[in-house]
Amino acid sequence: MTTHTNDLEALSDDEALFAELENEEDNDIAQIREERIREIQREIERRNARVDNQHGFYTDIEKEKEFMNITTSEKYVVGHFYHKDFRRCKIMDTHLETLAKKYFNTRFIKIDVQNAPFLVEKLQIKILPCVMAWKDGYAQTKIVGFDDLGNTDSFQTAALELKLIHAGVIKKKEGKTNNVKKSIFQSADTDSELEDE
């Protein structure tokens, strides 16, 4: 009878141990879930703040002073100096619009050169389109016309994107590697967002 009682006690101890382990696992999973929810909430708040500040959009700025304020107050800015009647400026607009939606941490803006006489003179803008990029208020690159983009009206957005990546004003998220296998249902641009600042 002692053996049977010992077996029952051992079984009871094992059940208690399993119950305790399950409870610990449930607590660990709940803790992980809570942390992930907090992370997602922080990301949503960060993105909402950027949307409020026009990140993710390609914004036409009408006043020269506002354009200057943006280039000096935002961390990453890409600015297009254009003329509304120039066909090549419209081509550049389509590429910048695409990149603005893709790189959420960079502010994309444009200004008609007729509204920016001081900047046109100060930055010596003589050929349009002219795209400049700033990081922390300091100019990083100046792309004049299409010479650096293959010297063709049909250049790929990727050519402009590469120039801006090399200038350090748009970045891919850290932790993404080219070795990651993608599902056939994922688009090629899923890893092209900016890294956290």
Mean pLDDT value across the chain? 82
Percent of all residues in the chain with a pLDDT value above 90, rounded to a whole number:
57
Q: What is the pTM of this model?
A: 0.65
Percent of all residues in the chain with a pLDDT value above 70, rounded to a whole number:
76
Q: What is the pLDDT of residues 114-163, one digit of tens each?
A: 999 999 999 999 999 999 999 999 999 999 999 999 999 999 999 999 99
Band (184; pLDDT cuts 50, 70, 90)? very low
Q: For residue 178, what pLDDT is reported?
A: 42
CA 93 to mean position of chain CA atoms? 19
Q: For residue 151, what pLDDT is reported?
A: 93
Band (193; pLDDT cuts 50, 70, 90)? very low
Q: What is the pLDDT of residues 5-23, one digit of tens each?
A: 555 566 667 777 777 777 7
Q: Is the pLDDT at 61 greater than 50, yes or no?
A: yes
Q: For residue 175, what pLDDT is reported?
A: 42
